[in-house]
Structure 1
Amino acid sequence: MKLRWRGFPLPPMVLLSLLMLRSHSASAQDDAWTEAPITLRRTPELIETIPPAERGTRPSIVDGDRLSGRPDLEVTVEGNASLRRGDTRITADRLEYRPPADTATATGNVHLNQAGNVYEGPELRLKVESFEGFFDHVRYTLLANGGHGEAERIDFVDPKVSVARHVTYTTCLRENRPGWMPDWMLSAVTMTTDSDTNLATATDAQITFLGVTTPSIPSVTFPLSNARQSGLLPPVIGFDTTNGFEYLQPYYWNIAPNRDLTLYPELMTSRGINVGTEFRYLEKNYSGQIRIDEMPSDSLRDRNRWGLWAKHDQKLDPKPFGLDSLSTSFNINRVSDDDYWRDFSHSPTLTSRTLTNEVDLNWSKGDWSGQARTLSYQTLQYAASPITPSYNRVPQITANYNKYDLHGFDVSGTLDYSRFEIDSAYSPTLNGIKQPNGERMVGNLQISRPWVTPGGYVIPKLLLHTASYQLDSPLASGATSISSVVPTVSLDSGLVFERDTSLFGSAWRQTLEPRAFYVRTPYRDQSQLPVYDTAANDISFATLYTENAFSGNDRISDTNTLTTGVTTRLIDPVTGAESARFGIAQRFRFSDQNVTLPGGTAVTDRSGDFILGGQVHWNPKWSIDGLAQYNMDTGKSTRDALTLRYTPAPYHTLTAAFRYQADSSTTANDGTKTVDFNWQWPLSELTRGLFGERKPGDPGRWYAVGRLSYSLHDRAMSDSLIGAEYNACCWVGRVVLERLVSGRTSPDTRLMFQIQFNGFGNIGSNPTSTLLQNIQGYKPLNTQTEEPSRFTNYD
C-alpha cells in the first residue's frame, strides 16, 4: 500500500486502518510460514496486446435501426446503435461517429464494453482507438476481480488507465432490490485504475463495513487482480500466552517473474522485534529459497535468537562422463537454540524438533544410479520431553544397479559407504559400553525370477547382505572392526480370482486374492554390530510381506516364517474405481528369531498377530478406514484404528477417529487411547433457526470449524482448536482459538482473527493454514480462481 499524508499528521485510528488494508494480490500468502507461496514463473505471463503498428488499421463496424450521415466524415445511428472496434463495443439509443477525429458520442442507455470491463450510463464521449474520453454518471464492473460501483464521471486516459471521480467500489454481488447496500464499500473522491500495474489508487477514501465508516484515508492502493505486486502484505495480528501481543507486517518485493523477496518484521511485546527475510528464485536449471530470521535481543530469554532455512535444487548441464542425469541440492535448517520451536509460533521449526541439514549430488547412467551426500541433524532438546538424536552421515556414498528382465531375471544391487557420528553424550549403549562412532560399508544383492500371469504370480528371490564396520574405539570384545554376511531366500506367490456380483442394488466386480510369502534367513550372530540406522518394523500389511523384520542395514533378522493372507476388493466394472477393500494376514514362525536390537529379547511366538484392515469408499460422500492388530495368545488387541469421514459437499466435512496403541512394556491392558473429531460444517444446518436459515439470494452463512483430540488414558485434551467462519460472498470472517499441549509443560493458547475483503484487503491473522493442517478435507472459503478471460464479458 502507498500512503500519502499531504503533510498532515495521521490519527492513530486511521493509521491502524491503513496498516490493515491489503496492497498485494489476492493470492498472496497471509501466513508466510505455512501457506503455499506466491507462484514464481520462469518467463513473464503472456498478455494479449495489439502492436502499435496495427492500431488504427482495425475496421469500425457500425450498426443500428437508422443510419444517416456523410461518407468518411460522419455517421449518425439511431435505435439499437452499435459500434465495434477490436475489443471495444459501444451500444446506445443514439450514436454519432466522426471518422476523421475517430470520436464517438453516445447518448441514452449507453453500454461500453472494453476488453471485458463494462461501463453503463447516459452519455459517453470517446476517441475510439486511443480510448480517450469521459463517461458521465456511470455504473461500472471490472472484469479482473468483479469489482463494481458508481461514479459521477470516469475519464479514460488511455486503454489502460482511467480516473473515476466521486466513486464507490465493492466486490459484493449487486442485488436488484430497493435500498440495497453492499456489506463493505469504498468511497473516494478519485480512484485511478491502471491495468498495466493491476493497481487502483483511491484518494480521500472511506471504508464502510456493516454500517460502520472509517475516518477519511488520504490515499490507499489496492490490487485489481491476482497478479503479483510489490507492497505491504496483510499484517498478521494475534495474541500468544508466551509471546504476548504479536504484530507481523510483511513487505513483498516483486523483483522479477522468477525472483522475489519478502521482509517479515514482527513485534512481540514479551520478547522484542524479530526481523525475517526470504528470497526465492527460479531459473531453467535451478531454483531455491533462503530464509533468515534475526532477533538481536530476546528480553524473555535474554539472548540473541536466529534461524536459517535454505533450499536449492539444480540440474547440472553439460553432464560429464556421458551421464544421463546429474543434479545437486542442499537443504539447511538451523536455529540458535533448543527453545526456538516453542518460542516462535510462525517459525518453520514449529512442525519438527529434528532439523535436517543435507547436501547431495545425484547421478544416473543407464541401469546405474548413485548419490553422494552429507546428512546431519540439529536436535532441539527439551527437558520435559527429550528425544533421541539420529546419527549424522558425514558422508554417505551410494551406488545402485537395477536390471529388469535380464533373460527373465530381475537383478539389483546396492553399495553404500557411510560415516556415522553423534555427540558422545547421546551415544546409545552397546553391550555395556558407549557405542563408538565409525564407518560402515554395506553391499546388498537381489536376484529374482518372476513368473507372472493374469491369474497369479510366483516370485522366488535370493538376497545377500554384507556389512563391514571400522570403528573409532574398541567394542566390548576389544575389536575395532567387525563384519557380517547374511543370505536370504524368499518365495512370494499369489492368485487373483474375479467374479461379477450384485450388492445393495449395484453391479460390482469382486476379487479374491490369496497370497503366501515364505522367507528363510539363517541365524548369524550380530549382537556385536553397532546400530546406527536400524529399528524394528511396525507390523502392517506392508511389513508382513518383507524379508527383514528391521529397517536399516545393521540387523538382518534370522527368519523361518510363512505369511499368509487374503484380500478382497469391490471394483466398479464401468469406471474401474475401487470402492472397497478388505484384508487379513498372519505370520507363522517355524523357529525362534534370535537376532534382536540391543536390549531386546528373542521372538518365540509361533503365530504372530492377526492384521485385519478395510477401506470403504462407497461413494464420494462416505469413507471408512479401519485397522486392527489382534494377539492370539493374549486374546487382546494391541492396536486399533478406525476413521469415519463424511463429505457430502464442498465445505461440508466431518471426521471421527479412534486410535489405540498397547503399551509394549507391560502385559496389562494399558496403552494410549485417543478420540479425534474434526469438522467444517454450516452452522445453519447443524442448528436450524439459531443462526437463521439461508434465504434465496442471501450469500451469508456461518461455518463451524475445529478439531478436538481427547486422550482417554490421560482424561485430558491434547492439541485442539475450535472456531467459526462467516462467508458473506464478498467478505469472509474467521476466528479460531488454538491450544497447543504436546511437548509443553504448560499449554500455549493462540487466538487468530481475520476479516478478508475479497479483491481488496485483509485484517488480522490468517488461520487458514492451521485449519488445513488440522481438519481433513477442509476447503478455504472463497478460494481464489484463475483470472477470467476478456471473453468472459464478451458482447
Structure 2
Amino acid sequence: MTRTHRSLPPRRLLAVAAALALIGAQAEAGTGTTRRHRTVETGDTPQACPLGTFVCPPRPDNFALCRPNALLEFYDPTLPQDTRLRETADTHAAAEHVDSSNQTVYHLAGNVKITRADQQLQADRVDYNDETTDYDARGNVRGQAAGELFTADHMQGNTDASRGVAEGHLRYQMLDSHGNGTADRMHMLDAQHSRYSRVSYSTCDVGHHLWEIRARELTINKETGRGVARGATMRFAHVPFLYLPWLSFPVDNRRMSGFLYPTFAHTSRAGYMLSAPYYLNLAPNYDATLDPRLYSKRGPMLAGQTRYLLPGSSGTLDFEYLDSDRFDDRTLSPTATDTQGNKRWLVRLDDSIALWPGWSIGTSINRASDRNYLRDFGSDLYTVATGTLTSSSYLRGSGTWWNASFGTDYYQNVDPSLPDSVVQYKRWPRATLSLDIPLNRWLEAGLDSEAVAFRKDDVVEGNRLDLYPYLGADFQGAAWFVRPKLAWRYTAYQLKNGYQYYGFYGPLAQGQVSPFTDRTPSRSLPIASIDSGLIFERDTSLFGEHYTQTLEPRLYYLYAPYRDQGNLPLFDTTLMSFDYWQLFSPNQYSGADRQMNANNLSAAVTTRLLDDSGVERLSLSFGQIRYFTPQKVQLPGVPVTDWSGSDYVVELGTQLSDQWRLNSSYQWNPHSRQTDMGSLQLQRRIGLDGVLNFSYRFRRNLLEQYDASMVYPVSARWRLLGHWTYSVRDRRTVEAMAGLQYEGCCVRVSVLGRHFVRGYDGLVTDTTTANPGTDNAIMFELEFKGMGAFNGQAESYLRRGILGYQ
C-alpha cells in the first residue's frame, strides 16, 4: 500500500492523496496515545504569596484538578491559532483510499485527515467537491478549529466560507475556557461564530457535569469571548435552580456583562441576606456592578460599584441604599436609636484627577446615613469596629524641590456609643508647603509648613500656622554617616471669639478657669540634632549557610529648649506610641500643638544577616534614649517626668527559610521595672496556598490579645479556614471564624461561620444573641469556575482577615 500527499489550494483541488502507508498510520497511532493523557488548563499557574504580604492577589482559575479530556486524543497543538491564515493557506489531505474517477468530486476513505491553517477535519469517509469546496464527512467525525474541538457522526460544510453543520452524538470542547458540552446540532456560521441547538455547557469534566447550562440555543462569539444562551436552565448536581430566557456569559478570560456569584449570609441585626450581583462591562475603561440584596429583617437594598478610567482621571464609586428600614431596633434594646422607616445609605468615592504635569486633585468621600449603619449592616469585626469615616479632597502639586497641597478633611462619627465630641476637628481648610533645596553636594535647606483652620462644635476653635525651616548636612562614606540638622519651629494661633469659655476638651464647668488667656498665642524655639552611625561587615555562616553579617551602631543627639505650652489648644495632637523609630524622632507628639523639650541622646545598634543574593534574612535592633533634663512638655493632666532613660526597645525580624517568617518587638520600662509593650508575629507557609499565622500583642494598661489564623490544605480539593482573636483583659473571644472551602474541577464552595464582638458592647444589650454585645454571621458562597472572576463578601473577608490568604 502506498501513500501520497498533495496540497489543496483554497479554491482548486489539484490532486488527491492516495493511501496512507502502514508505518505512517502506526506513527500517528503512537502520537495519539501520547496525547490521550494531556489536559488543557486555563488561567495562570498559582504562585505562592510572599510571606508577610498583607493582601495577596486572587488565585486565577486553574483546571488542573479536572480529569484528562478524551477529546484531546486528536488535539494537534502544532496548528496555528490565527483564523486569518485560512485565506491564503493550502489544504492538505491524507487518506488510505481515494476515488478520483469524477474530476470534480473526490471520495476519500480510511483515516481521512484534511488540514487547512488552524482547521483540521478527520473522519472515516469524506466527499470533497473541488469546484465549490463543499465537503461531506461521515463516520467518527473529529474537528479542530479556532481553539475548539468537536466530535460528531456527520458533518457537511464549505471550506472557503468556513461554514458547516455537524450533528449526531455531538460533543465539543473549548480549549481557552475549558467549556464543553453536548448538542443535537452545531452550525459553524464563520471562522469566529458558531451556534448550537439543544445544547449543554459547563467547565466541569467532560461527561461529569457538576453544574451546567442547558439551553434551547447557544451562540458562541469568539471575537468578543461571549456566549449567549436562549431558553437557558442552570443546573447544579442535575437539579435545575434557575431559568432565564436569555443568558450571557464569558467563554474566555475577558470581562463581560452578566450575573456574578450569589452570596447568602446571616447576622442577628440584619437577618438573612441574599445577594445576586450583576456585572456591566460598559466599556474598556469603565464598568459597573449592581448588587440587589434582600435582608430578611431590614428589607430590600440596592448596592453597587462603578469604576472608571478616563483621560487624566480614575476612580471608584460604591453605594448602598435602603429605601425604608422595616426593623425596629428597640426590640434589641429600649435605649437603641429607632431607624424603622428611615432611609439608610452608605457612599464611598475615591477619585484622582491629573490636571497638568505635577498637579492633581485627589478626593475621598465616605459618608453614612446614621451612626448605626455599619453596626446594622456590617458582617465582620473590621466593619463594625470602624468608629470614624474620613472624607477629604486635596489639590496637590510638586516640583523638583517642592511640594504643596490645599484641601479639606471632614470626619463623621459612626460609633453609636460615643458622642460627636470624640470626633477629630474638621480641617476646613488646610494648606501645606514643603521645600527641600540642595545648596551643594552635602548641604541642603528646607521648610515644612502648614496652615489649618480647625472647626468643631462645642469646643474651642481657631486657626494655626506652623513653620519649620531647617538647614541640614549629609556627610557619609561607605561605612559611616554624620547628619547634623539645625531647625527653628514657629507656631502661631488665632482663636475664635468665645475661646475663654472653653477648656481643652469642651465647655468649662461652673467655677473652672480657661487655660486660654490670649486669643493669638504662639510658640517659637530652635531644634538641633545630629545623627551618626557606622556600618561594619563580615562573612559568617549559620546552619551551614553563608551570610554577610553587619554591625551598625548609631547615635542620635537631640536638643530642644523648654517652652511653656499650657495656653495652646490641642487641635490634632496626641502622644505617639513609643517604638524603635521614636528613638530618632524630633518630637514624641503628632501634630504641631506640642513640641517636646529635649536634651537627649539615643543609642542603638543593629545587626543583619544578608544571604548571597542580598536578601535580608535576619535583623536585630536594640536601643534606648538617655534623658539629661526632665520631660516638662506634657499633655493636660500628665505630670512632668524626670526619667533618666526611655524604655529599652528590642526588635527582631527573621526569615531564614522561605517557609517561615518571625517578627517581634519588646519594650521594658526601667523605672517601673515592667513590660510596656510586646508583640510576636509568626507565619508559616504550608504548601503552595496554605498558611498558618500566630500573633501576640501586649500594651500595658491597654490591651493583651492572642490572634491565630490559618488556611490548611487538607488535600488538593479541600481547605480548612480559621481565625481566632482572644482578649486577655476582657476574658473573651473578640472574633472567631471557622470555615471550609472546596475546590473541584469547575466549582469553588466557601462556608463560613463567624462570631464577633460589636464595637459598642456594654452599652447596648442584644437580646437576640447568647452573649450581649456580640453578633453571629454565616456566609455561603458558590462559584462556578470559568464564568467570570468576582470576589464576593466571603472572599473579601478572608483576604482581609487572614494574613497571606490566597
TM score, norm. by length of structure 1 = 0.81
Can you list the C-alpha shifts for 1:290-333, whole angstroms capped at 9, x where unaligned? Answer: 3343323212222222223222211114xxxxxx4111122212
Q: Which amino acid aligns with 1:233?
A: L
Equivalence for 1:444: 468
Give the superposition deviation at 1:526.
1.4
Q: Which amino acid aligns with 1:330?
A: T
2:734 counterpart of 1:718: yes
Give the superposition deviation at 1:647.
0.5
> Secondary structure, in 3 states, of the residue corresponding to 1:772?
helix
2:711 counterpart of 1:680: yes
Kept in 2: contact 1:706–1:771 (CA 8 A): no
CA distance in 2, matches of 1:760, 1:57: 33
Can you list the C-alpha shifts for 1:373-409, whole angstroms capped at 9, x where unaligned? Answer: 0111112232279882111111111121112363420
> Secondary structure, in 3 states, of the residue corresponding to 2:521?
strand
Kept in 1: contact 2:668–2:674 (CA 8 A): yes
Q: Which amino acid aligns with 1:169?
A: Y
Work out the percentage of aligned pairs sharing the same amino acid.
Answer: 29
1:61 to 91, 100, 112: 91
Q: Which amino acid aligns with 2:690?
A: H
Residues 401-416 of structure 1: pairs in structure 2 closer than 5 A: 401-404=435-438, 406-416=440-450
CA distance in 1, matches of 2:667, 2:614: 30
Change (3 A) 1:331 1:215: closer
1:376 to 402, 407, 410: 410
Give the superposition deviation at 1:85.
3.2
Equivalence for 1:485: 524
Kept in 2: contact 1:293–1:308 (CA 8 A): yes
Kept in 2: contact 1:752–1:765 (CA 8 A): no
Can you list the C-alpha shifts for 1:111-149, whole angstroms capped at 9, x where unaligned? Answer: 322221112344432322432112233332112310123
Kept in 2: contact 1:280–1:290 (CA 8 A): yes
Q: Which amino acid aligns with 2:173?
A: T
Equivalence for 1:111: 142
Give the superposition deviation at 1:624.
0.9
Residues 350-369 of structure 1: pairs in structure 2 closer than 5 A: 352-369=386-403
> Secondary structure, in 3 states, of the residue corresponding to 2:594?
coil
Kept in 1: contact 2:651–2:666 (CA 8 A): yes
2:188 counterpart of 1:164: no
Residues 603-752 of structure 1: pairs in structure 2 closer than 5 A: 603-663=641-701, 671-683=702-714, 701-745=717-761, 746-752=773-779
Equivalence for 1:102: 133
> Secondary structure, in 3 states, of the residue corresponding to 2:166?
strand
Kept in 2: contact 1:35–1:769 (CA 8 A): no
Residues 183-332 of structure 1: pairs in structure 2 closer than 5 A: 183-202=210-229, 209-210=236-237, 212=239, 220-300=247-327, 301-302=339-340, 303-317=342-356, 324-332=357-365
Change (3 A) 1:443 1:677: same
Q: Which amino acid aligns with 2:559?
A: R
Equivalence for 2:23: none
Kept in 1: contact 2:86–2:117 (CA 8 A): no
> Secondary structure, in 3 states, of the residue corresponding to 2:622?
strand
CA distance in 1, matches of 2:420, 2:145: 65
Equivalence for 1:580: 618
> Secondary structure, in 3 states, of the residue corresponding to 1:582?
strand
CA distance in 2, matches of 1:469, 1:214: 67
CA distance in 1, matches of 2:565, 2:528: 19
Give the superposition deviation at 1:89.
2.8
Kept in 1: contact 2:269–2:377 (CA 8 A): no
Q: Which amino acid aligns with 1:113?
A: Q
Equivalence for 2:49: none
Change (3 A) 1:439 1:205: closer
1:130 to 134, 138, 161: 161
CA distance in 1, matches of 2:181, 2:301: 41
CA distance in 1, matches of 2:629, 2:517: 32
CA distance in 2, matches of 1:152, 1:644: 58
Kept in 1: contact 2:379–2:777 (CA 8 A): no
Change (3 A) 1:50 1:407: closer
Kept in 2: contact 1:341–1:353 (CA 8 A): no
CA distance in 2, matches of 1:71, 1:592: 112
Report how many aligned residue pairs link the two structures. 695
2:181 to 114, 130, 149: 149
Stretch moving more, 758-767 or 401-410: 758-767
Kept in 2: contact 1:253–1:260 (CA 8 A): yes
Kept in 2: contact 1:104–1:126 (CA 8 A): yes
Kept in 1: contact 2:125–2:138 (CA 8 A): yes
CA distance in 2, matches of 1:625, 1:387: 37
Q: Which amino acid aligns with 1:414?
A: D
CA RMSD of aligned residues (A): 3.3
Equivalence for 2:6: none
Equivalence for 1:85: 116
> Secondary structure, in 3 states, of the residue corresponding to 1:535?
coil
Equivalence for 1:784: none
1:341 to 374, 388, 413: 374
Equivalence for 1:666: none
Equivalence for 1:512: 551
Kept in 2: contact 1:194–1:200 (CA 8 A): yes
Which consecutive residues of structure 2, in runs of 5 or more, have no partner in the other structure? 1-42, 45-54, 61-79, 328-338, 501-514, 762-772
CA distance in 2, matches of 1:345, 1:644: 29
Give the superposition deviation at 1:365.
3.2
Change (3 A) 1:298 1:206: closer
Change (3 A) 1:233 1:514: same
Change (3 A) 1:96 1:705: same
Can you list the C-alpha shifts for 1:62-108, whole angstroms capped at 9, x where unaligned? Answer: 14266775999556655664433343233445544434323334445
Equivalence for 1:566: 605
Change (3 A) 1:172 1:265: closer
CA distance in 2, matches of 1:162, 1:113: 13
Kept in 2: contact 1:332–1:356 (CA 8 A): yes
Can you list the C-alpha shifts for 1:459-489, whole angstroms capped at 9, x where unaligned? Answer: 1111111111111034535310011112111
Stretch moving more, 276-285 or 185-194: 185-194
Can you list the C-alpha shifts for 1:167-198, whole angstroms capped at 9, x where unaligned? Answer: 44332234xxxxx7343344455433333453
1:499 to 535, 538, 563: 538
Q: Which amino acid aligns with 1:595?
A: V
> Secondary structure, in 3 states, of the residue corresponding to 1:771?
helix
Residues 400-479 of structure 1: pairs in structure 2 closer than 5 A: 400-404=434-438, 406-424=440-458, 427=459, 436-473=460-497, 474-475=499-500, 476-479=515-518
CA distance in 2, matches of 1:413, 1:212: 70
Give the superposition deviation at 1:214.
5.6
Stretch moving more, 642-651 or 564-573: 642-651
TM score, norm. by length of structure 2 = 0.80
2:635 counterpart of 1:597: yes
Q: Which amino acid aligns with 1:460?
A: P
Which consecutive residues of structure 1, in runs of 5 or more, have no partner in the other structure? 1-25, 28-33, 40-47, 175-179, 318-323, 428-435, 664-670, 685-698, 780-795
> Secondary structure, in 3 states, of the residue corresponding to 1:316?
strand
Change (3 A) 1:167 1:594: same
Kept in 2: contact 1:235–1:764 (CA 8 A): no
Stretch moving more, 221-230 or 529-538: 221-230
> Secondary structure, in 3 states, of the residue corresponding to 1:767?
helix
Q: Which amino acid aligns with 2:180?
A: H
Stretch moving more, 502-511 or 757-766: 757-766
Q: Which has the larger radius of gyration?
A: 2
Give the superposition deviation at 1:620.
1.5
